Amino acid sequence: MTRMRRIQVVIDPELDDRLEREAAARGTSKSALIRVAVERELSEPFDNGLWRLVGMFPDVDPIENIEEFLYGPISEEAWPSLTRRSGSQKP
């Protein structure tokens, strides 16, 4: 078995009571029950819903430079940190 790491988790008392009752009902420890719950939660990648947008508009060409599309052309005046090398002085 792999060596376990100890972590600290803060939960409210009601959740702790429920966890204790469930662990007792299953004949296991609270730690084991938490490991199972975390493993189940992390088994699927997080879905924030953005992937559902992919392919929604097949007739639209992708935007190569989203910043320029949203904010306009990059210029020294508007974006000095992007057009000068870091640490260089303005002439």
Q: pLDDT tens, 18-52?
A: 999 999 999 999 999 999 999 999 998 888 888 88
Structure confidence by residue, pLDDT tens digits, 5-19: 999 999 999 999 999
What ranges in 1-91 are assigned the alpha helix state H? 13-26, 30-42, 66-71, 80-83
pTM to 2 decimals?
A: 0.52
Alpha-carbon distance of 29 to 90, in angstroms, equals 64
Residue 68 pLDDT level (bands cut at 50, 70, 90): confident
Contact predicate 79/72, CB 8 Å = no
The pLDDT value given to residue 82? 67
The pLDDT value given to residue 87? 55
